[in-house]
Amino acid sequence: MATVMNNLSTQLLVIGGGATGLGIAWDASLRGIKTVLVEKGDLGEGTSGRYHGLLHSGGRYVISDPHSASDCASENEILRKIAPSTIEDTGGYFVSTPADPLEFPDSWLHGCEQTGVAADEIPLAQLRKREPLLNPRISRAFSVNDGALDSFALTHLLANGIQRSGGKLLLRHAVTGLEIRHNHIQTIQLINLRTQEMLMMSADFVINAAGPWAGDIAWLAKTQIPITLSKGSMLAMASRFTQTVINRCKPPGDGDILVPIGTVSVLGTTDLPVQRPDHLQIFPWELDLLLSEADILVPGIRQHRPLRAWAGVRPLYSSQHDDQEGDRAIKRSHIVLDHRDRDGIDNFVSVFGGKLTTYRLMAEAAVDLAANRLGQYTACATRTTPIPAPDSPIGFLGSERLRSFSDRASSAQDMVICECELVSAKQLRQALFSDEQPTLDDLRRDFRLGMGPCQAAYCGFRSAGIAAKGSRADPQFLGDFTQERWKGIQPLVWGSSLRQIELMRRINFELLHLSEADQ
């Protein structure tokens, strides 16, 4: 039987540990507001860890959603200053291929001027020199300020900032009930998903930053938010085909962008209505569509090895919905709903939608509202305050990662466990036997374990071996991780991916004699 504790109280409770919730908790903690953040999984386990990886220039939305375009352009500049270690400054191009409408670039350029999105037409010779693999029939090209943004690095950075400024994070805790009395959330019911212990807490103000689950949280407060859920699938190719983010210069559509991230290229996305945030099934036709569209940008790309696929779900505020135009017509700007004005609950706000690129702006708007209601009038400081790095930062990007690995390796006679992503035995041991008791999938988000070309074929077993030598000899430990990895590989069982899968199968069944049940 679960124990009930009643010992937690705070000024501000934030529900959701994605970029938005973490951004809110960082903003509030910096303003001196006593803050607790509750996340049912791990940091960034929701949409923030399942996105495309683009630091938007704003170019994609200049015509369809000018507000979002301007927000992206200004937040892009801010993020480069406050979290530079999470960004790879790839730059971006919008290019006109023979498949794109000829008249679009001129109206698009006009949209850029109107929204403050920096865009310059460049000579085609310059484009070809920088990106020789692009379609030689591209007729126009424009440079923009796109980049690659590592959301795992960002969520870890924010978590560190929150804790340093006195905020508290409760991971693996789910909010299961909100008790409202006299138009006020009086008590919040939580469950610790590790121990099944129940907790009751009180908060002066509650912010719902549960992304695509925001409607579920609102429902706990006996109110409804009209949210349409839209799933997007993405496909990582095992090689980096371009150095720059490449966008098709056309109205937003499926498969209109290629983002180079580290050693891979990510193609995306699709847009399909789903009923629930965890309906993440990827259909082979989606991947075929992404490859066909990418082949227009980089001819021949579909002959190369796809690495893995994943999907994320967007919460779109459907009161803005025009049914005739479909989900892409719903504005992708963020929404801040004050439930006092809307539903008569005076200490409750929901914030969702937008882009990861605009998480800081969303957080600022939500905390402004909460701070006002709490009578705490300190101004927002996140626009100019660099998010502090942990004491021993993990290099997430290219040469920085290599440098930090070689520093650790030479000083500690360390051993490499994940060659693709340079994760060492010492790092793993420290994390595995810490109080957090992370799963291997948590370590994937922490260190990128198993995310490289071998897709955990080797490092999964080595990590499980380290765990088994200590106190973590749970047979499910490796099984859960390989199951999770398999979900992203399973839709790609053809060509060179099939060879890699066959190698993994032989390691599992013939070398290690694992049964299918173990898997």
Ligand X SMILES: Cc1cc2nc3c(=O)[nH]c(=O)nc-3n(C[C@H](O)[C@H](O)[C@H](O)COP(=O)(O)OP(=O)(O)OC[C@H]3O[C@@H](n4cnc5c(N)ncnc54)[C@H](O)[C@@H]3O)c2cc1C
Q: Taking contact as CB under 6 A, which single stretch among the options 51-59, 92-100, 335-343, 410-418 is the one that binds ligand X?
A: 51-59
Residue type for 35, please?
T
Site string for ligand X, 286-315 (x = CB under 6 A): --------------------------xxx-
Least distance from ligand X to the Cβ atom of residue 365, Å: 13
Least distance from ligand X to the Cβ atom of residue 92, Å: 11
Site string for ligand X, 2-31 (x = CB under 6 A): -------------xxxxxxx----------
Phi, psi at residue 93, to the nearest 5°?
-125, 140
* Residue whose token pair is 């937690």: 8
Site string for ligand X, 316-355 (x = CB under 6 A): ------------------------------------x-xx
DSSP 305: P
Least distance from ligand X to the Cβ atom of residue 408, Å: 29
Instruction: Tell me whether residue 46 or residue 161 sits nearer to ligand X (CB atom).
Output: 46
Least distance from ligand X to the Cβ atom of residue 240, Å: 17
51 binds ligand X per the rule CB under 6 A:
yes
Query: Which one of 13, 31, 33, 41 is in contact with ligand X (CB under 6 A)?
Result: 41
Site string for ligand X, 220-239 (x = CB under 6 A): ------------x-------
Mark residue 368 as left, alpha or beta (left: phi above 0; alpha: psi -120 to 50; beta: remaining): alpha
Least distance from ligand X to the Cβ atom of residue 381, Å: 20
DSSP 250: S
Q: Are strands 272-274 and 334-338 parallel, antiparallel or unpaired?
A: unpaired
Task: Give me 99's structure tokens.
Answer: 């498949």
Query: With the C-alpha atoms ordered 230, 355, 332, 28, is the resulting torsion angle positive or negative?
Result: positive
Instruction: Tell me whether residue 21 or residue 92 sits nearer to ligand X (CB atom).
Output: 21
Instruction: Tell me whether residue 245 or residue 440 sits nearer to ligand X (CB atom).
Output: 245
39 binds ligand X per the rule CB under 6 A:
yes
Least distance from ligand X to the Cβ atom of residue 158, Å: 10
Q: Are strands 92-96 and 245-248 parallel, antiparallel or unpaired?
A: parallel
Least distance from ligand X to the Cβ atom of residue 288, Å: 17
Task: Give me 298's structure tokens.
Answer: 């980089």
* Residue whose token pair is 């891979």: 264
Instruction: Tell me whether residue 354 or residue 460 sits nearer to ligand X (CB atom).
Output: 354
438 binds ligand X per the rule CB under 6 A:
no
Least distance from ligand X to the Cβ atom of residue 499, Å: 28
Site string for ligand X, 185-224 (x = CB under 6 A): ------------------------xxxxx---x-------
* Residue whose token pair is 């199968």: 505
Q: Taking contact as CB under 6 A, which single stretch among the options 35-43, 193-201, 289-297, 367-375 is the one that binds ligand X?
A: 35-43
48 binds ligand X per the rule CB under 6 A:
yes
Task: Give me 191's structure tokens.
Answer: 């469950």
Query: Which one of 357, 455, 463, 508 is in contact with ligand X (CB under 6 A)?
Result: 357
Instruction: Tell me whether residue 254 or residue 338 sits nearer to ligand X (CB atom).
Output: 254
Helical segments of 386-424, H only:
398-412
Residue type for 134, please?
L
Least distance from ligand X to the Cβ atom of residue 350, Å: 10
Instruction: Tell me whether residue 215 or residue 460 sits nearer to ligand X (CB atom).
Output: 215
104 Cβ neighbours under 8 A, 6+ residues apart: 96, 249, 250, 251
309 Cβ neighbours under 8 A, 6+ residues apart: 233, 234, 235, 236, 282, 287, 488, 491, 492
Query: Which one of 54, 154, 157, 418 is in contact with ligand X (CB under 6 A)?
Result: 54
Q: In the sheet that 54-55 helps form, which strands lie side by side, from edge to edge?
A: 54-55, 147-149, 87-88
Provide the greatest CA pair distance for the chain.
Answer: 70
46 binds ligand X per the rule CB under 6 A:
yes
How far is it, in rounded angstroms, from Cα 149 to Cα 57? 12
Task: Give me 223's structure tokens.
Answer: 């109110």
How far is it, in rounded angstroms, from Cα 242 to Cα 301? 11
Do residues 93 and 245 lie in contact, with contact meaning Cβ atoms separated by under 8 Å?
yes
Task: Give me 247's structure tokens.
Answer: 């966008």
Residue 289: enclosing H or E segment and its boundaries? helix 284-297
45 binds ligand X per the rule CB under 6 A:
yes
Q: How many residues contact ligand X, by CB under 6 A? A: 38
Site string for ligand X, 133-172 (x = CB under 6 A): ----------------------------------------
174 binds ligand X per the rule CB under 6 A:
yes
Least distance from ligand X to the Cβ atom of residue 333, Å: 11
Instruction: Tell me whether residue 191 or residue 467 sits nearer to ligand X (CB atom).
Output: 191
Residue 204: enclosing H or E segment and its boundaries? strand 198-208
Instruction: Tell me whether residue 105 or residue 312 sits nearer to ligand X (CB atom).
Output: 312
3-state secondary structure string, 350-394? Answer: EEEECCHHHHHHHHHHHHHHHHHHHCCCCCCCCCCCCCCCCCCCC
- The closest of 334, 333, 291 to 497, measured between CA atoms, is 291
269 binds ligand X per the rule CB under 6 A:
yes
Site residues, ligand X (CB under 6 A): 15-21, 38-41, 45-48, 51-54, 56, 174-175, 209-213, 217, 232, 269, 312-314, 352, 354-357
